[in-house]
Structure 1
Amino acid sequence: MLLSGDIGNRLFDKLRVQSPRQFMNCGVAEANMMGVAAGMGLCGLRPIVYTITPFTTTRCLEQIRVDVAYHESPVIIVGTGSGLSYASLGPTHHSLEDFAIFRAIPNLQILAPWDAPSLRSLLRQAMLSDKPTYMRIGKKGEKDIAPLEQVPAIGEGLRLREGSDVCIVAVGTVANEALTAAEQLAARGITAEVVLAHTVKPLPKALFEDITARFAAIVTVEEHSRTGGFGESLLAFTASRGLQRQIETLGTGDEFMPVVGSQGYARRYFGIDAARVAEAAQRVANRH
């Protein structure tokens, strides 16, 4: 069952015509939509809630916390246009705190696909897991990174490029920035491994154990605040194990973006574009 806010596009026109009983346009009433979805999940249905990320997350946070997560209703919450996808519309349409908020809510798993094949795979995995799930996706046009059969299971990462000097871990739709950064580093004689991560919660312990065992220099990059994000969870993991590693976490700062521009411009503003990823990777590689 798909529930959508009234976001005005024609993405679901075919579904609405072919399967009208499986589609519900809940209008600009996202909190109510989340409560309806939670009830459906507790009645044996498998609801998927879809709308622009700020409006399917922070606008209905109480319903997600109490109706969905507390009751473990198997709702899949899909936030589209995440991160800085809607940079040109200003901070009301940015979603840079969703990982941090949802990491603190029990029973809720958090997934961040990097392209269409990973979205397809993770949606199937989430359906099979029968758990409340938040899925954070881009807007559209993200370049496909890897075929469907290479998408790893929830909690695992995809080693996309091998290297020995530094490891770059990219979360979600910033995957291309990490790959471009690795190419720039190769031109400078630095070999960077690129690992793509799509699981923010549950904590990807096996992935963290692997990269911290093989690398002393690590950079994480995410289109999310550095506070409460994926990188911070890696720092907490290494601290809990008493590991001494050179780690830089790249993300947005403690500010609302004061100007508007394209997504690429916004990434440059916050220092999460390929050039800044390469600079950070070179710094940590030179430290150890």
Structure 2
Amino acid sequence: MSTPTVWDVVHHAAREDQRVVFIGSDLNPTILSGMRTELPGQFFMEGIQEQNVIGMAAGMALEGARPVVSTISTFLTRRCFEQILIDIALHELPVVLLGTGPGVAYHHFGPTHCAVDDLALLRTVPGLTLLSPKSMAEAAALTDQAVRAGVFAYLRVPRYEPAPIAADLEPPVLGRAVRIRDGHDATIVALGSLTPNALVAAEALAAEGLSVAVEHVHTVRPLDPDLIARVSQSPVVVTVEEHLRDGGLGTELLHHLADAACGTGRMPRFLRLGLETRFVSGYGTWEDAIAEAGLDTAGIATAVRTVTRPLEIPAADTAAVAAPATVAPATVALKGSPR
């Protein structure tokens, strides 16, 4: 049995509910070709006019439809930001946005097609659920939940299929993170596509005697409150994401932990791993871009190994330093950034 895709889910949902319509912008003509034949009144494939399809979806939603809109992530988010904000969010409409080629999936097309700032942009949109699944199967399940519930959501559609992990054994639940490995020295909180890399890194560190937990996250917003509670107890937290290190999962989690620390004074040492805030350079494969950003297995392991080292405290300042649970994060000479 083949793995269901987000396109299978949309077709099935449209077959069951005539309110569900699909609006694409300059996508591969084979996408949802079956739906186009079977349900022509619920299928619309427009040209290169991304802003128009957002307005089109908003108008349909105002008349009771449940639109699903899809195009390349960079154009769906950067080019359509105002339309998403004003046409959809302002009116609290049930529109699901499917961004294809997220992160550095289209690195071979260069910086114009690298959607490494999509979450940072959309975190400012009121009421928008942000989803970044690991695999197509996970994306399909989350799309199904969002469409059926009438959620206003943006979902990054994975382009590559990673190796299976333990989290795949249970159906994903929108808004819920999954702890896939226990550990007490540090916790890696990985977003979607980079969870497999984080898990392999944690297993390699275990061979060195370092006990590292791994949390798999597919919902950036709303962020799972149970996840926040779990990682707040970890001495070290490292976030890993296929996104700019500013404005994505790491920033979202850090804000929540800082708010929680106001009442307790307890804050983990925190390191965000992601891409530098600059245009993605060159052209190449997904693996090339991930390795260059230090987000491959070796890069993640090096970062965790470094940030978990004991702090070097000058003797004269020893009395002024608080307990390890309340110290400021270490400065780490890596491609990630301490808070």
- Give the TM-score range, shorter chain: over 0.9
Please report the TM-score for the alignment, with normalisation by the length of structure 1.
0.94
Residues 1:47 and 2:67 are matched in the alignment: yes
- Structure 2 gap ranges (5+): 1-20, 311-323, 325-339
One-letter amino acid of the counterpart of residue 77, structure 1: L
User: What is the aligned counterpart of 1:72 among 92, 116, 121?
Assistant: 92
- Residue 249 of structure 2 corresponds to 230
- Identity between Structure 1 and Structure 2 (%): 37
Shift of 1:221: 0.4
Q: CA RMSD in A?
A: 1.7
User: What is the aligned counterpart of 1:93 among 109, 113, 128?
Assistant: 113
Does structure 2 conserve the Cα–Cα contact (< 8 Å) formed by 1:121 and 1:148?
no
One-letter amino acid of the counterpart of residue 216, structure 1: P
One-letter amino acid of the counterpart of residue 257, structure 2: T
Residues 1:275 and 2:298 are matched in the alignment: yes
Shift of 1:232: 1.1
Shift of 1:50: 1.1
- Residue 33 of structure 1 corresponds to 53
User: What is the aligned counterpart of 2:276 among 253, 259, 269?
Assistant: 253
Does structure 1 conserve the Cα–Cα contact (< 8 Å) formed by 2:136 and 2:158?
no
Q: Provide the rounded CA distance (Å) in 2 between the counterparts of 1:284 and 1:93.
A: 33
Alignment of structure 1 residues 118-133 onto 2, 5 Å: 118-133=138-153
Shift of 1:145: 3.5
Q: Provide the rounded CA distance (Å) in 2 between the counterparts of 1:99 and 1:38.
A: 21
Please, which moves more after superposition, 157-166 or 7-16?
7-16
Larger Rg: 2
Cα-to-partner distance string for 1:18-55 (whole Å, 9 max, x where unaligned) = 22222110111111011111111121111111111111
Shift of 1:254: 1.6
Alignment of structure 1 residues 177-188 onto 2, 5 Å: 177-188=197-208
- Structure 1 gap ranges (5+): none
User: What is the aligned counterpart of 1:262 among 285, 288, 292?
Assistant: 285
Q: Provide the rounded CA distance (Å) in 1 between the counterparts of 2:169 and 2:58.
A: 31
Shift of 1:146: 5.1
Please, which moves more after superposition, 159-168 or 95-104?
159-168
- Residue 10 of structure 2 corresponds to none
SS state of the match for residue 308, structure 2? helix
User: What is the aligned counterpart of 1:57 among 61, 77, 86?
Assistant: 77
Shift of 1:56: 1.3
Change (3 A) 1:283 1:198: same
Q: How many residues align?
A: 287
Q: Provide the rounded CA distance (Å) in 2 between the counterparts of 1:155 and 1:216.
A: 24
Shift of 1:60: 1.0
Does structure 2 conserve the Cα–Cα contact (< 8 Å) formed by 1:120 and 1:148?
no
Please report the TM-score for the alignment, with normalisation by the length of structure 2.
0.80
Please, which moves more after superposition, 72-81 or 187-196?
187-196
Does structure 1 conserve the Cα–Cα contact (< 8 Å) formed by 2:167 and 2:216?
no
Does structure 2 conserve the Cα–Cα contact (< 8 Å) formed by 1:219 and 1:250?
yes
Shift of 1:122: 1.0
Shift of 1:147: 6.8
